Amino acid sequence: MATAPQPEILTAFEAAKGFMPVDEGLALYAAAVEAGALGLPLLEVGTYCGRSTVLVADAARAAGVTALTVDHHRGSEEQQPGWDYHDPETVDPEVGLMDTLPTFRRTLFKAGLEEQVIALVGRSPQVAAVWGGPLGFVFIDGGHTDEHATADYEGWAPHIADGGLLAIHDVFPDPKDEFTGQAPYRIYLRALASGAFTETTATGSLRVLRRTGAGI
Ligand code: SAH
Ligand code: MG
């Protein structure tokens, strides 16, 4: 059986605001634990309020590595006021824009995982451009436009070490199943077509691929 999180971690994950279903979260956790064995940092793109971060952070703790999570915390297109995935509680009333950073910090604090995580607050391509080191795990769950998903793939996938894992969320091969577009599906196809990645598991809309070749 795949490695499962302790009950208190699962409880913290389920209590957190966010978009990761439990079955996919368990698959994400198992992949992160496996990738942690490489002894390299685990990175997530798309922190939001920290729901999936709890799992990546606990896997990092188990492996004795650091988890990194990237987000500008201003929300994706579909999370803005007036759109389907908007949550009014995520708006900073003083600034009048979304700010999910405070909720994220509460989520991590409640899960007892603050020390495991480095939060990178900024635009994913900008952070990727200054990132130099190898990563054991990259989880792409950021913006769903082609521009954002492609930039996440091109920015972060090159850093995945040999044998490391690439997880992609919201992969919907059938257009009738998707709610926010098929850009994640397109980067998944691109990763497979590159010859650098081989699929290991598929759970709901989560795909996990292993680096088995060079390049992206
Ligand atoms: N992983 C989360 C959900 C992430 S939602 C969970 O489990 O609930 C997607 C997030 O990606 C949003 O918080 C949004 O602010 C962020 N995002 C979208 N485009 C981004 C970009 N280009 N750079 C950084 N963050 C981005
Ligand atoms: Mg998602």
- pLDDT (average), residues 108-114: 98
- Active-site position among 72, 144, 148, 169: 144
12-48: pLDDT as tens digits: 999 999 999 999 999 999 999 999 999 999 999 999 9
Say whether pLDDT at 120 is over 60.
Answer: yes
Q: Taking the CB of residue 1, how many other CB atoms lie within 10 A of it?
A: 4
Q: Is 144 a catalytic residue?
A: yes
How many angstroms separate the alpha carbon of residue 72 from the centre of ligand 2?
15
Output the pLDDT for position 13.
Answer: 98
Q: Is the CB of 28 under 6 A from ligand 1?
A: no
Sketch out the chain's domains with CATH numbers.
Answer: 7-211 (3.40.50.150)
For residue 1, what pLDDT band results from cuts at 50, 70 and 90?
Answer: low
Q: What order of strands is seen across the sheet that includes strand 206-211?
A: 117-121, 67-71, 42-45, 135-140, 160-168, 206-211, 197-203
What is the pTM assigned to this prediction? 0.98
Say whether pLDDT at 179 is over 90.
Answer: no
- pLDDT (average), residues 67-76: 98
